[in-house]
Structure 1
Amino acid sequence: MDTLRVKEYMEYQPAAIRCDAMLTEVIDELLKHKSTGAPVVNEQNEVVGFVSEQDCLRSLLVSGYYCDKVDSVKDVMRREVLTIGPEDNVVELARRMTDQLPKIYPVVLDGKLIGLIDRRRILSALVASQVEHCKVW
């Protein structure tokens, strides 16, 4: 299992939100891709933030209550984003994920977004590896 790499299990064409998107666009993208969150990227495809369904819900509740304008992604995104590289180990990432860290990690190479990996893909990798390992015995 130590040979499992993120690049083997990541999503290669993830939903990514432009940093100038309005919250309604963000919600449309998340719903379209059936995703709980997505990285926010600039014009150079560098990850500058992360936005989740929870961030959107919070903003919609506040703007609905006060009848304020709808926010842009810049107003609600988290700016500190944990990323991972395509050569990183899946088992190590799984260990990190058990400590309540993000459920979704943007995968970056040379500072650019190239993919996404989430708990579901990690579970799939670990199960497949375990099944293959047990066949040998």
Structure 2
Amino acid sequence: MGIKSFLASRKNQQKVTADVPLKVSDYMTTKLITFKSEEQIEKVIDSLIKHRISGGPVVNEKNELIGIISEGDCIKQINESRYHNLPMENNTVEKCMVKNVETIDGNMNIFDAASKFLESKRRRFPIVENGKLVGQISQKDILKAAMKLKGHTWR
């Protein structure tokens, strides 16, 4: 006597095809608000508020990534200036930015990028190609990608 399966056939199941974009470069933001190392922190804070972003890449004149500045970095500067009763006019991005920036490859699978976000506790990753900043992927971009892929892979 043979073994019977109690699982019914899976009808209407869609498969992921080659035309479904799965790479980080398909979902990354390419029109970025960037900052220069010599900019004053107050100007950065104004930009963060105006554009409703939580941070951005810092680039040099060749569009090479040299750091990242975030709301948290700005808050640290405000706190230190207030604590030491110092003016903020002298504070530049270069003094506050994170210089050791972790990047990801634009060819990375979107789900691998999601795992990297979970491991690192970062809100954004810049994408660099040939030494130049070409884009940035955020946690929100990953969520948008997941919702687009939902119809192709999830039920």
1:52 is aligned, of 43, 63, 70, to 70
Give per-residue Cα distances to partners, 1:54-107, cap 9 Å, x unaligned.
Answer: 110111011022221321111111110011232222111101111243110111
Query: TM-score, structure 2 length as denominator?
Result: 0.80
> What's the % identity of the aligned pairs?
31
More deviation, 29-38/114-123: 29-38
**Which stretch of structure 1 is more off in the superposition, 94-103 or 38-47?**
94-103
Structure 2 residue 96 is matched with structure 1 residue 76: yes
SS in structure 1 at match of 2:86: coil
SS in 2 for 1:50: strand
Aligned letter for 2:141? Answer: R
**Alignment-derived partner of residue 33 in structure 2:** 15
- Greater Cα radius of gyration, structure 1 or 2: 2
Structure 1 unaligned blocks of 5 or more: none
Output the amino acid matched with 1:4. Answer: L
Deviation, 1:3, is 5.5
- Give the Cα–Cα distance (whole angstroms) in 2 for the partners of residues 82 and 107 of structure 1: 9
Alignment equivalent of 1:113, drawn from 106, 111, 133: 133
Query: Residues of 2 paired with 1:99 and 1:84: CA distance?
Result: 13
CA distance in 1, matches of 2:154, 2:68: 38
Length-normalised TM-score, structure 1:
0.90
CA contact (8 A) 1:30 1:37 kept: yes
**TM-aligned CA deviation for residue 134 of structure 1:** 3.6
Return the letter of the residue paired with 2:44: V
* Equivalent pairs, count: 135
Alignment of 1:1-137 (within 5 A): 4-70=22-88, 71-134=91-154
State whether residues 3 and 89 of structure 1, in contact with CA within 8 Å, keep that contact through their aligned partners in structure 2: no
Moved more, 49-58 or 81-90: 81-90
User: 2: distance between equivalents of 1:51 and 1:134?
Assistant: 36
Deviates more, 1:62-71 or 1:44-53: 62-71
SS of the residue corresponding to residue 17 of structure 1 reads: coil
CA RMSD of aligned residues (A): 1.8
Cα distance between partner residues in 2 of 1:47 and 1:73: 13
